[in-house]
Structures are given as C-alpha cells and as structure tokens.
Amino acid sequence: MLATATAAPPSGPDWAHEIKWDGMRVLADLHAGGLRLTSRNGNDVSVSFPELAGLAGAYDDLLLDGEVVAFDAGRPSFAALAARMHVRERRKAERLAAAHPVTYVVFDVLRLFGQELIGQPWSGRRSLLERLDLHEVDHLQVPPVYDDGAQLLLATREQGLEGLVSKRRSAAYLPGRRSADWLKTSNRATISAVVGGWRPETGSAQRLGAVLVGRPGPAGLMYAGRMGSGLAGKAAVAMAQLLAPLTRPDSPFADEVPAPDAKEVTWVQPLIVVELKSLGQTGGGRLRQPAFLGIRADLTPQDLTEEADRGGE
C-alpha cells in the first residue's frame, strides 16, 4: 500500500501519524524458520541485509511491512543506504553489515499464522503489531504513532527528518495500490528523478562523468538538468554498469535538451531512478546545482509518474 502526497497532514481522531523514514520499503516474509526480504519492485533483497537474518526465528509465519533504514549519527541517511541496496554478493554484504548495519523499521503486519490481515482496519493491525513483542529482535524497531500530525510535522522538520505519513485508523491495507487513506507530508530537500542519458568524463570517452535527468510531466519525461556532482569513483562505475545495456539511439525526453548538455551524450531507456539534492529549480524547471545521492532501486519511473499525476513531489 502506498501513500498519496499532500501539502499538510490531516487532523482529527480518524487519523494516526508516523514518522516517514528516508529508507527502502521492504516486506519481510517469515515462514517455517526462513526469511525473505522483498523490495517494492518485487526483487529478493535478502542477501543485501544479512544483519536482519535474526528476524527469521521470531515467528513461524508472519508478514511485515516496513522500511530498511541506514542511520548516520542518529539520523536516516539515504546516501548511506544506497551503498547497501545493490549488493548481491553475500560476503560483501556481511562486511558492509558489520561496518554499517541497517535497521528494519516495521509499521504494519499483514499476515500472522496463515491468517491474512489486510482486510482488518489499520487500528487493529497496529494493535496486533505492538503485541508481537518484536523489540528483542536485533536491528528492528517498531516506532511510535502520534495523534497530532501538525506537531509531528514540525518536530520532524526541526530534526531534519523526511516528514510523516498519516493513516486513516479504519482503513484496510490495499497491496500495491496508492490510497488517500495513507497521506504523506514531506520536508524533503531531496527529490527523485529518472536518468535519460549520460556524458563521458572530460578527457575520457569511456568513463561516466555526468547523467541527464528528468521528471515526469503531462507530455512525458521532462528534462531537468545535467548532474555530475557526487558521481565519481565507485558511484560512477556502478551507474555506468546499470546504464550500459539501456542504450538507445534517440532522446527519451519529451522536450528539447539544450545543445551544451546534449554534447557527446549517450541516450538510455528511462528506467533508472536516482535520488539527488539541489538548491531548487530555475524558472524553466531546471535543477540548480544537483548532486547525486544514490540509486533508488526501490522506485520505478511509474512511481514518479503517479506522484506527478496526483500533484506530489
């Protein structure tokens, strides 16, 4: 179930409010002593997060929804998480987990002992989640919920957190669907964008030096700017490897890319979503000084299109 973006959190007794963590959405499926971690786009990411293996023995049959979060100095850091999201080699994942462990922040329970719970109201699922006594599981948290969304939004803003999610207490869980029963209010200075091309590093025709990114609009993918800051070393190599099989002969952008940006560009299928920060946008919709933070393996271009259709970020 996905949240719909809103400018301000709803108020009143029908709503509960949770902190929105800057993490990776993951389903944790426990069954017969095994554990499968699945990302939003259906990929098995169990190998990527070995520190969560202890969850397997918590219950014989349980399905949880939550976010994998990397904390840096007590605050969620998507940049720190990005280094973990794509690791599929077990030994490397174990080394990274030992040095920079993640936390599974659980906010919903969807199945217990073979009984599907998605038809029950959020309030009932939340009450059950709190009674599961998961606090003894390593690297797992069940964060609190709050009654006052406006105060929580202010607190998250002061603490530099991403924002909050407001949930209708009577709402059932709708798998894979975006619903107005879950509303997200964001403080984020970062945004997600789609890569539509790349340019080589100055002095090298082979090494990636910058990517061209866009945001969904009514006419299609609209060009938002060229981004090279933050794309160096291992980050540039990883990006180049992802883009190599996606080469196409023409631009995927619906509008014209300025000639200086399009110089020596290799166009690619617009399938890779990245997270970036910028100093805002120009009047023409271009990003000001965008800097790469990481690849959003948990998002697809369609996710961004749905956000744009609903007036989201």
How big is the CA angle at 172 (ends 192 and 191), to the nearest 5 degrees?
5
Q: Pick left, alpha or beta for residue 126 (phi over 0 → left; psi -120 to 50 → alpha; otherwise beta).
A: alpha
Tell me which residues are annotated as active site. 20
Residues with Cβ < 8 Å from 301, sequence gap 6 or more? Answer: 194, 216, 221, 270, 271, 273
Reduced 3-state DSSP string for the chain: CEEEECCCCCCCCCEEEEEECCCEEEEEEEECCEEEEEECCCCECHHHCHHHHHHHHCCCEEEEEEEEECEECCEECHHHHHHHHCCCCHHHHHHHHHHCCCEEEEEEEEEECCEECCCCCHHHHHHHHHHCCCCCCCCEECCCCECCHHHHHHHHHHCCCCEEEEEECCCCCCCCCEEEEEEEEECCCEEEEEEEEEEECCCCCCCEEEEEEEEEECCEEEEEEEECECCCCHHHHHHHHHHHHHECCCCCCCCCCCHHHHCCCEEECCCCEEEEECCCECCCCCECCCEEEEECCCCCHHHHHHHHHCCCC
Residue type, 288: R
